[in-house]
């Protein structure tokens, strides 16, 4: 986001992508620009742009992998525990699955998670290297999280790096806590994060703080400030969520 006017005293508008947000729309009771309202409007526009950048091939890729495995929608439903209608909507790009359901789909299809996000992931086991330039990761948006999958073109990684925006601001946004094999590390890049897990009280983290935890504990992360928090989230290689 950048200003159209260089001087704060004469700031009239900010731009987010190709859209201009007029400061005059967001004045406080004194007739002065309300910085928080402007920031929230800019954030909403940034979210809209991100939605447009999401991986449009995700649904068709799921359908192709299912067909290659010789599975019907009903058979995949039985393997994953997901409703027939849910899988159908995912394949038609009508809904975006949660991270938990992504794990269920990968397990049901018998493939590495990377295969759900890249048409031809690299599978060599030694001498591997890949680069993800800023903003070029594979994006996936769910109601709770907005992920940018980093280095998604490598399959069978020992850990999965995710640049994540925490869209949820209340733990009630989660139908249930996610639980799966492995371990996780998160580093707060901006904003305030509240980590909810089994066995522990909610933990608040600020920019620069980090946390490492056992993924077999039920867990969920939410933003606890007015703006969405950004974190670097690293998960050990996982295949399927645990039954809860």
Structure tokens at 8: 């704060």
The answer to whether residues 175 and 103 belong to one domain is: yes
The answer to whether residues 30 and 102 belong to one domain is: no
The secondary structure of 13-51 as a DSSP string is: EEEETTEEEEGGGSB-TTSSB-HHHHHHHHHHHHHHHHH
The answer to whether residues 172 and 231 belong to one domain is: yes
- The predicted pLDDT at position 43 comes to 57
Give the domain range for residue 190. Answer: 58-236
Q: Is position 241 within any domain?
A: no
Interaxial angle between packed helices 99-109 and 84-91, expressed in degrees from 0 to 180 and rounded to the nearest 10: 100
The answer to whether residues 20 and 118 belong to one domain is: no
Burial class for 68, CB neighbours closer than 10 Å (0-12, 13-18, 19+): exposed
Give dist(CA 103, CA 116) in Å, integer. Answer: 10
Q: Is position 242 within any domain?
A: no
Q: Which helix (H) or strand (E) holds 213?
A: strand 210-214
3-state secondary structure of 222: strand
Q: Is position 187 within any domain?
A: yes
- The predicted pLDDT at position 26 comes to 54
The answer to whether residues 89 and 131 belong to one domain is: yes
The answer to whether residues 33 and 134 belong to one domain is: no
Give dist(CA 20, CA 237) in Å, integer. Answer: 41
pTM greater than 0.75 (yes/no): no
The answer to whether residues 187 and 167 belong to one domain is: yes
The answer to whether residues 100 and 201 belong to one domain is: yes
Task: State the 10-residue block means of pLDDT for the chain, 244 residues long.
Answer: 44 52 55 59 52 68 94 95 94 86 89 79 72 91 90 85 96 89 94 97 98 94 96 79 46
């Amino acid at each position: 986001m950048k200003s159209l006017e260089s001087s704060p005293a004469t700031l009239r508008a900010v731009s987010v992508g190709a859209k201009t947000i007029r400061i005059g729309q967001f004045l406080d009771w004194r007739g002065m620009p309300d910085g928080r309202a402007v920031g929230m409007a800019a954030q909403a526009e940034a979210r809209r742009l991100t939605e447009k950048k999401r991986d449009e091939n995700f649904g068709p890729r799921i359908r192709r992998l299912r067909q290659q495995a010789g599975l019907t929608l009903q058979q995949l439903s039985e393997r994953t525990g997901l409703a027939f209608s849910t899988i159908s909507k995912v394949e038609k790009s009508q809904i975006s699955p949660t991270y938990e359901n992504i794990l269920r789909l990968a397990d049901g299809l018998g493939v590495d998670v990377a295969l759900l996000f890249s048409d031809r992931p690299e599978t060599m086991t030694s001498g591997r290297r890949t680069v993800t330039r800023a903003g070029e990761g594979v994006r996936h948006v769910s109601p709770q999280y907005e992920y940018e999958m980093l280095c998604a073109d490598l399959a069978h990684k020992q850990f999965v790096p995710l640049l994540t925006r925490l869209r949820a601001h209340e733990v009630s946004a989660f139908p249930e806590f996610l639980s799966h094999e492995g371990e996780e590390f998160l580093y707060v890049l901006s904003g305030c994060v509240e980590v909810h897990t089994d066995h522990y009280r909610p933990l608040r983290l600020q920019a620069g703080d980090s946390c490492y935890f056992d993924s077999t504990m039920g867990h969920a992360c939410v933003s606890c400030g007015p703006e969405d928090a950004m974190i670097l989230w690293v998960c050990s290689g996982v295949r399927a969520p645990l039954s809860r």
